[in-house]
A and B are shown apart, each in its own frame.
Chain A
Amino acid sequence: MEQGLVLAALLFAMGLVGVMVRRNIILILMSVEVMLNACGLAFIVAGARWGQADGQIMFMLILAIAAAEVSVGLGLLLQVHRRLGSIDIDKTSRLKG
Chain B
Amino acid sequence: MSVELFLFYMAATISLVSTVLALTRYNATHALIYLIISLLASAIIFYLVGAPFAAVLEIVIYAGAIMVLFVFVVMMLNLGAQGDTLEHEWLKPGMWILPTFLCLILFMEMVYVLSGSSHLLPGTAVSPKEVGIKLYGPYVLAVEIASMLLLAGLVGAYHLGRRYLMDSRGED
A residues within 8 Å of B by Cβ? 1, 3-4, 7, 10-11, 14-15, 17-18, 22, 24, 26-27, 29-31, 33-34, 37, 40-41, 44-45, 47-57, 59-61, 63-72, 74-79, 81-83, 87
Contact = CB atoms under 8 A, between A and B. Distances in A.
A11 B66 contact: no
Contact of B70 (A53, A64, A74): A74
Contacts of A48: 49-51, 121, 123-126
Query: B interface, how many residues as a size bin?
Result: 35 or more
Contacts of B65: 67
Given A79-B164, A82-B168, A57 B142 contact: yes
B45 A64 contact: no
B68 to A, nearest CB: 11
Contacts of B156: 71-72, 75
Contacts of A49: 123
Q: Give the most central of B9, B16, B19, B168: most A CB within 10 Å.
A: B19
A31 B69 CA distance: 15
B19 A67 contact: no
B49 A71 contact: no
B69 A56 contact: no
Contacts of B164: 75, 78-79, 82
B28 A27 contact: yes
B139 A57 contact: yes
Contacts of B50: 48
B126 A74 contact: no
B149 interface: yes
Contacts of B62: 33, 37, 63, 66
Q: Which 4 A-B pairs have the closest CB atoms?
A: A68-B153, A51-B124, A75-B160, A64-B146
Contacts of B122: 1
Interface string B26-52: 001001100100110010011001110
